[in-house]
Amino acid sequence: MNFDWASFWHYLFQPTSVYLHGLWLTLSLSVVSQSLGTLIGVAAALGTQSRFRAVRALVGFYTWLFRGTPLLVQIVFVYTALAAGGIFRFEDIDLGFVVIPGNIQAAIVALSLNEGAYMTEIIRAGILAVDHGQTEAAKSLGMTYFKLMRRIVLPQAIRIIVPPLGNEFNAMLKNTTLVSVIGVPELLLATQMITSATFRVFELYTVVALYYLTLTTLWGFVQAWLERRYGEPSRSVAQNPGLVAGLRKLLTRGEPVR
């Protein structure tokens, strides 16, 4: 095996600008797509609880479609098939301080929509895990639906949502490699460009694997902190048997909910 240790250590500890740009792009795509996907998931999860059958059917179709087709197909479809069919073409957007290429826009759209479908089920499970008696008590106090979700349900659902949310972001970091097929120069495509010039395939793919391993390991520490920060307080509230009784006591006393 002709493994060039000098090249390995060089690219591992002294990455080129191409590597650094790919690393920054990987992190940016992951954070933006996960954030948008979570927002989509919240909206869709609330839609599953809608009293309108059409809304529930639309959300069900969305999750069925994006959970049932490969992410790679979705990325290519959003960027290539829509343009080929004359439906929509992603053009570069000039924000003044930065230009966002069309392929990066398509990558964010595809990753966000795919992630939203999975977050829908995660958030829906968190909502359904909250004791239904608390919902009934809050409604009897005259809480609106959105105040009920903001004040009662979602704060407690966080304890169910945070662990799988962290796992989804971990997967998102690795799923960004798929957008290389539409020319987004994230970490994997940056490595491919360097290997085409240096022919040090084994060394450079070992380096990029270690980069991803480092990113996911660091995120593991962040996820553990998030679970300690948001999981435990919510758990103590959710398991408090006196909460429902307290809400009903307020109702009998006629005190307004602030």
Segment 128-133 shows an average pLDDT of 84
Q: Considering the chain, what is the average pLDDT of its residues?
A: 87
Q: Is the pTM of this model over 0.75?
A: yes
Domains of the chain (ranges plus CATH)? Answer: 5-253 (1.10.3720.10)
Find where tokens 């087709």 sit: 69
Distance, first Cα to last Cα, the chain: 70
Token digits of residue 220: 């593991």
Query: Span 15-33, mean pLDDT?
Result: 93
Mean pLDDT of the 193-211 span: 93
Contacts of 66 (CB under 8 A, 6+ apart): 74, 113, 114, 116, 117
Cβ of 36: how many Cβ atoms within 10 Å? 18
> Whose CA is closest to 152, among 47, 229, 243, 226?
243
What's the average model confidence in pLDDT over 233-251? 48
Q: Is the pLDDT of residue 205 over 90?
A: yes
The C-alpha torsion from 150 through 152 and 154 to 160, rounded to 10°, is 170
Q: Residue 160: which pLDDT band, with cuts at 50, 70 and 90? A: confident
Sign of the alpha-carbon dihedral angle for 215, 216, 220, 225: positive
